[in-house]
Structure 1
């Protein structure tokens, strides 16, 4: 009898051990499933956050593109008006009214009268979080960022060349003419003798050169960039609409 009781006790203990092992395995499976669910939720949250950041940055860059296109248009309008003065100065046969207009504007054509487009590049740090996902929209933002860098690397050297030319012209007048103060104080009341320089071949050549740098080369760059920014804006808007759909 004792023998049968011992065997029975061992069977009960074996059954308990088996049940415990199955319970433990079940607990482990539940923990693993819980971890996988948590990881999946966290990943989805990060993806959603990245998409939100991308959409916010896309809106900001859209607004920047629109603003910069407007800035270029305004700058080119000013340059267009400047072109009229340059052409009028270089015109051979002028009316009395045209001569009077040239008299007031000629002294400043190669020294002060220049308008640059105040366009700033996109800050790379602002795009780091926004482009962490590999969507078409984020890739377009990076493409626009690179285009802005390319645009800056072209415009800034051209602006420096024009600025250096202006400084060179001012320095020449400062070193050679006593009426330099009238020029830099915007006092256009030059005497007849003082005004003779503005009709000289030397000054005319400086005007021609400035027209080439400023009104032809620089304005030509702005025209090209305006077209490219408009294309980038159109493509960005299309991708934003696609993301929202």
Structure 2
């Protein structure tokens, strides 16, 4: 072990791995994957570009709803918020924690909500006052199962999704989900979307069956982010 590796290990940081996570393929198989430090840094830089084109800036306040196990997908966004001096509060994406999200929405000037789940959306939309507050939030990134409940009450969210090991999110024009094209390639197969790792990552895999369907739009997005976009069917 090198001197740098020994120092990193003693400091509680694995010299090669930033984390280990797991996703479920279309066939139900659970796939465990490693995450290296360089790729985590690149993911954070991409997340910074994403939040910038979505209009978030220093002084804003963001509500992030996520599980601890979702850190490999959400931590780059959280680190991007920190880098941009954007204040954030956190809540769990479960129905039983919807009251905490509602409290933040009632008491704080929330400029964006990240990761709103179906359970949370159903809990929040039961309160008319919270629905009025949600309608005034400039950016809501809802998971696919949270989009429907929000639309039913007149709130139009953007979509955020964990596609295998990749994070995908819509920008302000809301014309499909962006992924970092230097790290991932999404294609449509006969039985749904597949993901291939194209970046230099600890986990390298081709044609991951994502278990979702949709279309891949190769045309440039007017937000300026590079690469194709994915329009999910849900």
Instruction: Give the TM-score, by structure 1 length.
Output: 0.22
- Which structure carries more strand by proportion? 2
Which is greater in Rg?
A: 1
Higher relative contact order (CA 8 A, sep 6+): 1
TM-score (norm 2): 0.22
